[in-house]
Amino acid sequence: MAIVQNPITGRTKKKFGTAVFSKQFGKNVMRSKPMEVKNPQTVGQVTQRNKFATTVNLVRQVLPLINEVYAGSLRKMSPFNKITNNRHEQN
């Protein structure tokens, strides 16, 4: 069920059909659910998923410190996403 604050530009959240509504960094965002999801289990894909899972687990352990370091300095990305993205690009 979608929740709409005002019919034209207001706050909308949750799902309506294949559309997903949310608020991210102060802006209303609409995205669509994928029609099909492929899940290849190739060696390369599994290796990449394992690297990403390791990165996420490490970042979660120091998340309070990361939030303190980046407090208020990021506009379009959360501190968690920023540090995960930086770490992921290095591999």
Instruction: Encode 18-47: b = buried (16+ Cβ within 10 Å), e = exposed.
Output: eeebeeeeeeeeeeeeeeeeeeeeeeeeee
- Residue 68, token pair as written in the block: 């303190």
What letter would DSSP give residue 60? H
Span of 4-8, 21-25, 32-36, 82-86 with lowest mean pLDDT: 4-8
Query: Confidence class of residue 7 from pLDDT cuts 50, 70 and 90?
Result: low
The predicted structure's pLDDT at residue 61: 92
**Are the CB atoms for 70 and 19 separated by under 8 Å?**
no
Q: Are 51 and 44 in contact (CB under 8 A)?
A: no
The model's pTM is: 0.52
Over residues 28-79, the pLDDT tens digits come to 778 888 888 788 889 999 999 999 899 889 888 988 888 888 877 777 778 8
